[in-house]
A and B are shown apart, each in its own frame.
Chain A
Amino acid sequence: MSSSTLFSNPLFGTTVTVLAYGAALAIYAKVRWLHPLLSAPLIVYLVLLAGSIDYKTYNAGGSIVSFFLGPATVALAVPLYKQAMRLRPMLPKLLMGAFIGSVLGITVNALCVILLGGSKELLYAVLPKSVTAPVAADLASWLGGSPELAAALTVVTGLFGSIAGPPLLRLARVHDYVSASIAIGASSHGIGSAKLLADSEEKGGISSFSMAACAIFTPLLLIPVNWFIL
């Protein structure tokens, strides 16, 4: 069996992906600044480089793993529902906050690319980057952009926001944790929420709610944007 048929067997791609993920989690347990979302794809990339295997060949198996992004996106309904039930007394304010966060996310992201003269391809990937990555990837390909690029930009946005967001909010005197958690969820989606969750369950819960609500508001807001503007 030649090496190319060996690598194009879907089992190669799925195995490399799962092993890289496992290794990335093990590294993260020791090296806290190296997020698994950076190290795992890097490991896959290095394996492909070392074996001079092209991405398409690898993706025969890789796409089997990516398939689960779809059901995982749908599954976000569950944390949204659970948090909504738990936060019921303040739900109207939280929904309003997440809605405003969605509007701001789309507007600011669009302005960044348009004012600086970025390409259409870049615009489609940047536009949904404040929303949770599976939804951002789905939205980017719907708009006509690249889901890979959108996913990467979204992850970097989340990493940056999870680190810079809390001190920025303190600097702006947003001291109440409800406002801060909603803001982090709207701008830095799940990566920001995970960071807040390490702080307290309360903050993490509100932030996850904000992330999930934005995952619904942003696509709805993008319908007219897509029709009339893009």
Chain B
Amino acid sequence: MKGFIIIIGFDGLGWLLHEGAGVPLPSHVLGLLLLTLALFTRLIKLEWVESAATLLTRHMMLFFVPLLAGVSVFIPMLSEAWPVIAVSIIAGTSAVTLLSGLVMRLLVDRKKGVKPAHEQQHSVF
């Protein structure tokens, strides 16, 4: 429960900074930035938030369902703009993948070993 309180607290802090102090970033993104900083500065210990964060990121797909079901409202707009959307998804995504990969290949000239993973955490997003 402690983890959830910390995470929701950071989310609220982000909201406060966005709404109250006018920081020009979306509130949840601010919360993410602040929690990242707090973890790296050891202000917040990983163990405090790890299990709550894993639960939240693992079920991220569920939290998306209402938003995605709401796309039906945009069907008129989508039927008009589909060529732009198709190009940006097919050509755009291919271009970002390829260019990032090629630039990265230039950077990784000397590969260094990485420690094996003890535990993996992932989300589908």
Residues of A within 8 A of B (CB): 13, 17-18, 20-21, 36-37, 40-41, 44-45, 48, 55, 58-59, 62-63, 65-82, 84, 86-87, 89-90, 93, 96-97, 100-101, 104-105, 108-109, 112-113, 116-119, 121-122, 126, 129-130, 132-135, 137-139, 141-142, 146-149, 151-153, 155-158, 160-161, 164-165, 168-169, 172, 174, 176, 178-180, 182-184, 186-191, 193-194, 197, 201-202, 204-205, 208, 211, 215-216, 219-220, 223, 226-227
Known: A41-B69, A71-B56, A157-B93. A82 touches B121 (CB 8 A): yes
Inter-chain contact A74/B31, CB cutoff 8 Å: yes
A13–B67 alpha-carbon span in the complex (Å): 12
Which among A37, A82, A169 is the interface contact of B64 at CB below 8 angstroms? A37
A72–B85 alpha-carbon span in the complex (Å): 27
Inter-chain contact B112/A58, CB cutoff 8 Å: no
A218–B81 alpha-carbon span in the complex (Å): 25
Chain B contacts of A67 at CB under 8 A? 63
CB-CB contacts below 8 Å: B22-72 with A: 24-29, 31-33, 35-36, 38-40, 46, 49-50, 52-54, 56-57, 59-72
Inter-chain contact A161/B29, CB cutoff 8 Å: no
- Whole-angstrom distance between the Cβ of B67 and the nearest chain A Cβ: 5
Inter-chain contact B24/A223, CB cutoff 8 Å: yes
Chain B contacts of A164 at CB under 8 A? 90, 93-94, 97
Inter-chain contact B26/A101, CB cutoff 8 Å: no
Inter-chain contact A104/B96, CB cutoff 8 Å: yes
Chain B contacts of A191 at CB under 8 A? 124-125
Minimum CB distance partner of A150 in chain B: B67
B83 within 8 A of A: yes
Inter-chain contact B124/A194, CB cutoff 8 Å: yes
Chain B contacts of A75 at CB under 8 A? 7, 35, 49, 52-53, 56-57
Chain B contacts of A126 at CB under 8 A? 84-85, 88, 92
B76 within 8 A of A: no
Which among A55, A74, A182, A197 is the interface contact of B10 at CB below 8 angstroms? A74
Inter-chain contact B125/A211, CB cutoff 8 Å: yes
Minimum CB distance partner of B118 in chain A: A86
Minimum CB distance partner of B90 in chain A: A160
B21 within 8 A of A: no
Known: A21-B62, A65-B65. A148 touches B74 (CB 8 A): yes
Inter-chain contact A66/B63, CB cutoff 8 Å: yes
Chain B contacts of A93 at CB under 8 A? 104, 107-108
A80–B113 alpha-carbon span in the complex (Å): 19
Inter-chain contact B97/A184, CB cutoff 8 Å: yes
Inter-chain contact A104/B11, CB cutoff 8 Å: no
- Whole-angstrom distance between the Cβ of B85 and the nearest chain A Cβ: 7
B100 within 8 A of A: yes
Inter-chain contact B72/A147, CB cutoff 8 Å: no
Q: List 11 A-B contacts (CB under 8 A).
A: A68-B62, A75-B57, A78-B35, A86-B115, A89-B114, A90-B112, A109-B92, A116-B87, A160-B93, A174-B105, A190-B124
Inter-chain contact B62/A65, CB cutoff 8 Å: yes
A198–B45 alpha-carbon span in the complex (Å): 29
Inter-chain contact A18/B102, CB cutoff 8 Å: no
Chain B contacts of A184 at CB under 8 A? 97
